[in-house]
Amino acid sequence: MTINKNGSIDKLRSVFSGRDYHVANQDGTLMQLSVNHRLLRPLRVIATKNTITLLYADNRKAVIKISTGKQYLKFTLDKISDGVDAVMWGPFSSSIADTIGNAVGVVRDREFAFGLQALNTKTSGGTLDNEEGAVYERGTAAIAQTYGSSLQAFTVNRLHDRVIKVWDRWPAVDVKGIKEGGLEGSSIALFGCRPREVLKVMETIEQENGLPHALWQNEWIKTSAQSGRAYMITTFNEQNIDTFLNYASRMGMAGVYHEDPFDTWGHFDLKKEEFPHGREGFKKCVEKAHALGLRLGFHTLTTFITTNDAFVTPVPDKGLATAGTDKLTADISAEATEIPVSDTVHFVLRSDLNSVLIGEEIIRFMGITRTAPYLLTGCTRGAFGTKRSAHKNVEAISRLVDHPYKVLYPGWELQKKVAKNIADFINQTGANQMDFDGHEGTYSNGMGDLSFNSFAEEVLKQSDHPVVFGSSRSNHYFWHFNNYLNWGEPWYGAFRESQSDLRITNQKFYEDNYLPNMLGWFLITAQTDPDDIEWMLARAAGFNAGYALVVREEALTNKKMDEIIALINVWTDAQNKRLFSQQQKDWLKNPANEAHLAKQNGSYVLESFSKHEFTHQAKSLQPGEPTVSNWSFDNTHEQQRPRIVLLAKGEEGRIKNPVIEIDNSFHLEVPVTLSAGESLLIDDKASAALYNSKGQLIRRIDLPDALPALSQGNHTFSFDAGMNINSPVKAMITIRLSEKTEKLAS
């Protein structure tokens, strides 16, 4: 890399090919300064063997130490002039455009990879878009540009008190300076290598610079074959843990993960009804899991603090996060329901708990008058079990930061105690899986990415054994100890439809950022059909992805559970053995494609299906004119019975007594009414299954005959039903037929 006398980047040359990836006429530079909302580029460079001194306008300068690792260049800010609000590394512009790892900070084409790594928590990989220094998006350490791509990082000066907007929501927050908040020490590594060597180089950077280096079974978790494995989510307890561990073992899961074990968040007290022996009871569950070779984990909402936690009640901790502080303008009694304040700025925003802290009392309020004298109105005194008290004139009143989950947050110092409490739970129980869910809550104290990354690093460093960490958010520095991101939940629709687009589009993000492919959470109920499970397993095979199965106690009554387990095992075994060809995997990635995998005489046989989709809607016709819709389709395989799904597509409306005809000979009328969102499945049985909008079975309907077996060749299909012409509902008909059967390679 060549830096010219003005501090701009002149060359980014691959030592392998000699190709220069620098883009002429771009604003690539080593470091820029932010001063009073002005961006200063260097004017001149003074270079020695181990330092570069950048000179800026207004007699400001930055001294940067340079060193070389085995496969990278390291830059560290050693000295900086006073009055600088932030420093920005880069942008380092390149012509590479093929693959942009926006969170991990690596861009690559087929021949070369160019990467940036932030080397400590104060250095954020990404663009500086707000005063708090928070990267809200999935990542901006690498950005696609019209000319190719750019890499960048920044550090915000947090030494001094500031009044800034926090979390893109709370205005004029008084954010106190912290001793860890200086600009000196901000550091990055830049590297270039062949694409296949990226992880090896990044592991070297981790180890040589003391970055988090997460291990699993004595191997770096980023390259471990155990990374990204499927796991079970459930609500186990001391009594039923053996049952769920047994099911997880039978399914070949990596472990079992408790979805909601805590009565409080902050101190993380376990629910007594589930764990009457407290942490000792949870520890015994962990020991049982480990004896079976399974991990055991837990879910929490990271820095969320419940209002029944000891950080809140009966005496609230002084370290709770606040969105600004004002003064009382008069004495108030313990019974007052109106509270006088000097300004509206911290109180006009309506939030979910609408709470303030005065002394040791939390008070909830309904609103604030808009003209002076300003009064908080509709006040509920002694909220959350705190003590009602009288308060004196000019006493401080602080607005508390909250969240729609009806929780509060810790400030910078209190956040360290919450991290220690999580680590203590891990150490005392032996639990070895956890998600930093709600990780964005760390932004509540105004420290941006420094807070986000420091909190997770505190938990990691204080844990006395390896833990598999997931998260709800990606982040450049957090990448080093984040094993997986498992976005996609089963609460929004039928098994296949719930966040399907998100689940699929996430896969490219994972691959671009060197994260294991994960499909998200899938909910198994007492009615879940094996066909739906196989749809998910086919996607997992296509992307070589893991997933989470939510299996609550009522799901164990599913009469087809043994069939479901058998399907999980056969698909997982074939996936682990890498038996699918690239062509087969590409086909399986498409959520519209369906397949069945079976093991026959020691071989794996993959059966793929074709689908024919038709739409029928109410028509405005002449009296007596038929309302029926007619289509044709081909059966390209041997004689078989079709599988027909009728979906009432739309926000509202009904489909009454649907009638189908096949080849002008088979006639079937189903005595049922489908409301919008419901679906009807007709297969090779003399009954149909009615499902609600979330894919749960409502009831079965007896039919006079099963569907006919169709010969190879062309067939006709007719449909009609009672539908209101003014209703938006449509009948979506899908006919599924077996198309091809093939053996997987050994």
List b or e across 678-687, with b for residues whose CB sees 16 or more CB atoms inside 10 angstroms. bbbbbbeeee
- The SS3 of residue 675 is strand
- pLDDT of res. 329: 97
Give dist(CA 445, CA 521) in Å, integer: 30
Give the pLDDT of residue 622: 62
Reduced 3-state DSSP string for 529-540 = CHHHHHHHHHHH
What are the structure tokens assigned to 441, written together? 């809550």
- Identify whether the C-beta of residue 449 lies closer than 8 Å to the C-beta of residue 485: no
Predicted confidence at residue 562, as pLDDT, reads 97
Q: Is the pLDDT of residue 168 over 90?
A: no
DSSP 572-641: HHHHHTT-S-HHHHHHHH-TT-EEEEEEETTEEEEEEEEEEEEEE------TT----EEEEEEE-SSSB-
Q: 3.40.640.10, 3.40.50.2300, 2.60.120.860, 3.30.360.10: which CATH number matches 609-741?
A: 2.60.120.860
Q: Tokens representing 691?
A: 């499902």
| Residues 191-215 pLDDT 10s | 999 999 999 999 999 999 999 999 9
Q: For 428-482, what is each residue's pLDDT tens digit?
A: 999 999 999 999 999 999 999 999 999 999 999 999 999 999 998 999 999 999 9
Residues of the chain with pLDDT > 70, as a percent, come to 99
Contact by Cβ (8 Å): 250, 565: yes
pLDDT score for 494: 66
DSSP H or E run through 456: helix 448-462
pLDDT at 623: 65
Angstrom distances, CA of residue 745 to CA of 355, 383, 436, 538, 658? 63, 66, 40, 17, 44
- The token duo for 289 is 């899991």
Average pLDDT over residues 578-596: 94
Coil/strand/helix, residue 673: strand
224 confidence band (pLDDT: 50, 70, 90): very high
What pLDDT score does 489 carry?
A: 78
pLDDT computed for residue 11 by the predictor: 93
| Residue 533: per-residue pLDDT | 94
**Is the predicted pLDDT of residue 16 greater than 90, yes or no?**
no
Q: Is 497 a residue whose pLDDT tops 80? A: no
Res 69: pLDDT: 87
- The stretch 120-130 carries a mean pLDDT of 97
Cβ neighbours around 335 below 10 Å, total = 9
What does DSSP say about strands 219-220 and 518-524: parallel, antiparallel, or unpaired?
A: unpaired
Q: Which amino acid is at 91?
A: P
Cβ count within 10 A of residue 318: 13
pLDDT at 70 over 90: no
Is the pLDDT score of 137 beyond 90?
A: no
What is the per-residue pLDDT for 491? 64
The pLDDT confidence band at residue 486, using thresholds 50, 70 and 90, is very high
Residue ranges per domain, the chain?
2-211, 231-305+411-485, 322-400, 500-591, 609-741
Longest dimension (CA), the chain: 94
Q: Distance (Å, rounded) from C-alpha 438 to C-alpha 403?
A: 10
- In this structure, what is the dihedral angle of CA atoms 343, 349, 351, 353, given to the nearest 10 degrees? 10
Q: Please, what is the average pLDDT of the chain?
A: 95
Please give the Cα distance from 494 to 531 (Å, whole number): 13
Cα→Cα distances 167→172, 416, 452, Å: 11, 19, 12
Predicted confidence band at 711 (pLDDT cuts at 50, 70, 90)?
A: very high
User: What is the pLDDT averaged over residues 87-112?
Assistant: 97
Q: Give me the pLDDT at residue 72, please.
A: 96
Q: Report whether pLDDT(681) > 90.
A: yes
Q: Does the 322-400 domain belong in CATH 2.40.10?
A: yes
Phi, psi for residue 456 in degrees, rounded to 5: -65, -40
Q: pLDDT tens digits, residue range 684-704?
A: 889 999 999 888 889 999 999
Q: Answer yes or no: is pLDDT of 492 > 80.
A: no
Amino acid at 127: T
As a CATH number, domain 231-305+411-485 is 3.20.20.80
Give residue for tokens 């559970």: 561
113 pLDDT higher than 80: yes
CB < 8 Å & 24+ apart, contacts of 686-690: 689/529
